[in-house]
Amino acid sequence: MGSGDGAQAGGGGVEIGRGGRRWEWTYRCRIMSTGPECLVAFFSVTAGDNGPKLGSDESEGVLFAWQVVDVLNRKEGAVHKALVKPESWQVNDVCSEEIGLSDADLAEALSLEEVLQQVHLAIVNELNLGPGSPFVLCTDGQLHIRQVLHPEAVKKSITLLECFHSFFDLRKEFKKSCPDAPDLKDVDIPTMAEYLKIETNLEEFGVSHVRLMGQIIQALLAEPYNHTFVDPEEVNTKFESGTCNRMEVVDSNTVVKARGLPWQSSDQDIAKFFKGLNIAKGGVALCLNPQGRRNGEALVRFINVEHRDLALSRHKHHMGTRYIEVYRATGEEFLKIAGGTSNEVAQFLSRENQVIVRMRGLPFTAAIDDVLLFFGSDCPVSGERDGVLFVRHPDGRPTGDAFVLFSCEDHAVEALKKHKEMLGKRYIELFRSTAAEVQQVLNRYLSTPLIPTAPAPLLPLIPPPLLGASSVRDCVRLRGLPYSASIENILEFLGEFTADIRPQGVHMVLNQQGRPSGDSFIQLKSPDRAFLTSQLCHKKCMKDRYVEVFQCSVDEMNLVLMGGSLNRNGLSPPPCLSPPTYNAAPAPMAMFPVDAAMYSPHMLIGPRGPHPQPLPPTAASNHATYFQPASSAQLYMNYTTYYPNPVMPPMAVGYIPSPAQTIAAQPGAMMRMPALPYNSGMKDILNFVQGYQVPPESMLLLSDFAPQSAGDGLIPFPPLQASLPAITDKAGTHLAHHDVDLYLV
């Protein structure tokens, strides 16, 4: 370890016992009221970006400089510096020129852990005040401690001493004493020195900064400012779990969303990723997918907007081998995930410093005693019976999930070793969990939707195509867009081809959560311009991603929105179409109810299912058609995967593709009377519907040659409204001493 100004940093070790820690706590309380006796100006330099971008590129620290300032006696100590040996050996050219370091200099340096220990011992020995480290660091802003020292220490599994968990921000202290100075965001060391009329000399990077910081501190302590350094910044040593009430007000300027998390990551892992920044109590909420599994996203709430902004600068920092995306979020999003109102959950989570484990796959007959016996005495459940919370449906039925509390980390680790062990005849999955996940799971199961989602009807309704059907390849598909891309970014990406876009011809594709999917469709004026666009714009970069561009038609666009895939090798069918005949030949005519009913079931493409249920009036549409798919086809596909811009609510009906020109609007409706009594004839049907607007010549009696039935009766109603009274009045009545079922087809 080297030193500046001829001073040597060294000395013997200091052991801090329990008495020392108690003395340090007393001294810390005194700092909060009267200020510290000594300050240590501290400055760090990384192998990458420095200055305003310090710590934004995850570069390792390569130099620490510090100087002791005696507040009581108004004296300054020598300026010291220490080189740190990085693990990556990637010192950029700018850093090398500013600091004047070479790889050879760093090769002889000590590791980060060794340097931090020597820095602490050198300061204690220079102060000569015994154990307890009675000093507080003073840094140029927040970045040196929060964005450099703590994140790097976590990555290298280094436990920092207590003196590195509190510091004074010299910029904030300067602003307190000089309120008429420039805004805080514009303040730096040269600005403060100029305002205080201190000569600026930054010949040696880092060392000169620390020397200037010492002079600024002395100027603030002297007349006319007489500044007192009280209430230092604190860095939380650990994340505290807790509950969040839905009635609580959460400031949107304190919340971020982290994406790309490993599925097994816990709230403690996320807190480590944001180490150095203070997360609010219970401020980590892991997001779940519709199946109740973690989807790799989390909402994190910080104590103030300053820490939120620092968190945003960690965008694409790494957790292990994965980079994590960090975006702004809202307080409403956080409350939706983490908020809860259940008294049972609040009581379960009321005990602090507990480790939560989630159990999945429990037998529906499992009781609390079974759970306690499953974990046994090696990992006792905290609070015994009070430490188990079963997840149930609103009607009280068990879901197979439960949450269990453990009093310490060791018991939780032992409990997780029982992952996939048997309870009864089922193996049990065990995962670390969080208070927010408990709230989210309970909210999902206990909340009943205001409008229940009705099941899809057996007879699918074919809506008009999303866009006008056309096989002209005058469109392009953009794939791989950044999630933050806007229409303006797309227009800038297309460049000269922007002039060829049709009015309202940009369609942003969203996923079922309403977020951008990375796809977009552009309608151009001609196939030639679409071809040139796909050739000249393919794999051009938008922001930090390259974008693929494919030529396509409106028909192909609709098929891609339904789940197909389009690339340079051609178009692959969506999973609901088999075989993919939509390109080779025109789509077959969709079969209308009247035509389909005139054939026996075995004569259709696939066997007809059970009798359909009566359709509600709102479901009967003049676009309704009947198409019997092959038995291997998937009748009901998830159409909510994508939907075009402008955003429209996805339809809750089975969707079977067919070009618009093959479907004609059919007025009226057809009422079906299945399984008529044996020997029933046309006269019986006429008597049954007497008094309703039914043309007798259009009534049909179909026979499927079953010995116990006369067949099915088909009764057309010219206006749709005329069929509704018939369904209402005649449903459940008798024909030849038999109950008759009526359906609209």
Task: Please give the pLDDT value at position 686.
Answer: 73
CA dist., res. 521 & res. 503, Å (int): 13
Quick: pLDDT tens for 139-189.
999 999 999 999 999 999 999 999 999 999 999 999 999 999 999 889 999
Domain stops at, among 659, 682, 702? 659
Long-range contact set of residues 732-735: C-beta below 8 Å, sequence gap at least 24: 733/688, 735/673, 735/676, 735/677, 735/680, 735/684, 735/688
Inter-CA distances, 168 with 39, 78, 300, 450, Å: 9, 20, 25, 52
Domain stops at, among 639, 659, 679? 659
User: Does position 488 have pLDDT exceeding 60, yes or no?
Assistant: yes
User: Does position 697 have pLDDT exceeding 80, yes or no?
Assistant: no
User: Does position 637 have pLDDT exceeding 80, yes or no?
Assistant: no
Residues 257 and 122 in one domain: no
End-to-end CA gap in the chain? 87
Inter-CA distances, 306 with 146, 256, 275, 310, 535, Å: 11, 12, 15, 6, 46
228 domain-assigned: yes
DSSP letter string over 572-608?
EPPTT-SS--TTTSPPPPPBPHHHHHTS-GGGSSS--
735 domain-assigned: yes
Helix (H, G, I), strand (E, B) or coil at 218: helix
Task: Please give the pLDDT value at position 434.
Answer: 85
Residues 651 and 719 in one domain: no
Residues 686 and 702 in one domain: yes
Residues 126 and 45 in one domain: yes
Q: Are strands 166-169 and 136-139 parallel, antiparallel or unpaired?
A: parallel
Of 191, 187, 178, 186, give the one whose Cα is nearest residue 220.
Answer: 178
CA dist., res. 282 & res. 354, Å (int): 12
What's the token pair of residue 307?
């820490």
User: Does position 461 have pLDDT exceeding 50, yes or no?
Assistant: no
Residues 365 and 325 in one domain: no
**Helices 170-177 and 207-221, interaxial angle, to 10°?**
30
* Cα angle for residues 500, 504, 508 (degrees, 5° grid): 100
CA dist., res. 672 & res. 731, Å (int): 11
* Better-predicted residue by pLDDT, 423 or 715: 423
Residues 85 and 115 in one domain: yes
121 domain-assigned: yes
Quick: pLDDT tens for 592-625.
444 444 444 433 433 334 444 444 443 333 333 3
Question: Please, what's the b/e burial string for 132-161 (b: 16 or more CB within 10 A of its CB; e: otherwise)?
Answer: bbbbbbbbbbbbbbbbbbbbbbbbeebebe
* Residue 516 β-bridge partners: 510
* Residue 359 β-bridge partners: 402, 430
Residues 724 and 619 in one domain: yes
Range scoring the smallest mean pLDDT among 119-128, 492-501, 563-572, 659-668:
659-668
SS (H, E, C) 712-727: EEEEEECCHHHHHHHH
Domain count, the chain: 5
Task: Please give the pLDDT value at position 559.
Answer: 76
Task: Please give the pLDDT value at position 243.
Answer: 78
Q: What whole-number percentage of the chain has pLDDT above 70? A: 69
* Better-predicted residue by pLDDT, 604 or 726: 726
Residues 209 and 289 in one domain: no
User: Does position 92 have pLDDT exceeding 50, yes or no?
Assistant: yes
Residue that the structure tokens 């009422």 belong to: 671
CA dist., res. 654 & res. 458, Å (int): 8
- Mean model confidence pLDDT for the chain: 76
**Greatest Cα pair distance in the chain:** 118
Q: Are strands 545-552 and 475-479 parallel, antiparallel or unpaired?
A: antiparallel
Task: Please give the pLDDT value at position 548.
Answer: 93
Task: Please give the pLDDT value at position 443.
Answer: 78
7 domain-assigned: no
CA 69: distance to chain centroid?
46
Task: Please give the pLDDT value at position 169.
Answer: 96
Q: Which CATH number is 168's domain given?
A: 3.30.420.10
Whether the CA torsion 229, 235, 236, 238 is positive or negative: it is negative
* Better-predicted residue by pLDDT, 586 or 325: 325
* Residue 82 β-bridge partners: 64
Residues 421 and 469 in one domain: no
Q: How many helices (H) and strands (E) does the chain have?
A: 22, 32
635 domain-assigned: yes
Radius of gyration of the chain (CA): 36
Those residues whose C-beta lies under 8 Å from the C-beta of residue 528, and which sit 6 or more positions away, are none
390 domain-assigned: yes
Calculate mean pLDDT across residues 325-338.
Answer: 91
CA dist., res. 239 & res. 436, Å (int): 13
Residues 420 and 554 in one domain: no
DSSP state for residue 251 in the 8-state scheme: -
Task: Please give the pLDDT value at position 412.
Answer: 92
Please, which pLDDT band fits residue 710 given cuts at 50, 70 and 90? low
Task: Please give the pLDDT value at position 259.
Answer: 95
User: Does position 630 have pLDDT exceeding 50, yes or no?
Assistant: no
Inter-CA distances, 177 with 170, 172, 221, Å: 11, 9, 10
Residues 653 and 699 in one domain: no
Task: Please give the pLDDT value at position 2.
Answer: 45
Q: Which CATH number is 369's domain given?
A: 3.30.70.330
Residues 507 and 385 in one domain: no
The DSSP element (H or E) to which 659 belongs, if any, is none
Range scoring the smallest mean pLDDT among 297-311, 317-331, 471-485, 671-685:
671-685
451 domain-assigned: no
Task: Please give the pLDDT value at position 117.
Answer: 93
What is the domain range of residue 571? 461-590+627-659
153 domain-assigned: yes
* Better-predicted residue by pLDDT, 273 or 244: 273
User: Does position 195 have pLDDT exceeding 80, yes or no?
Assistant: yes
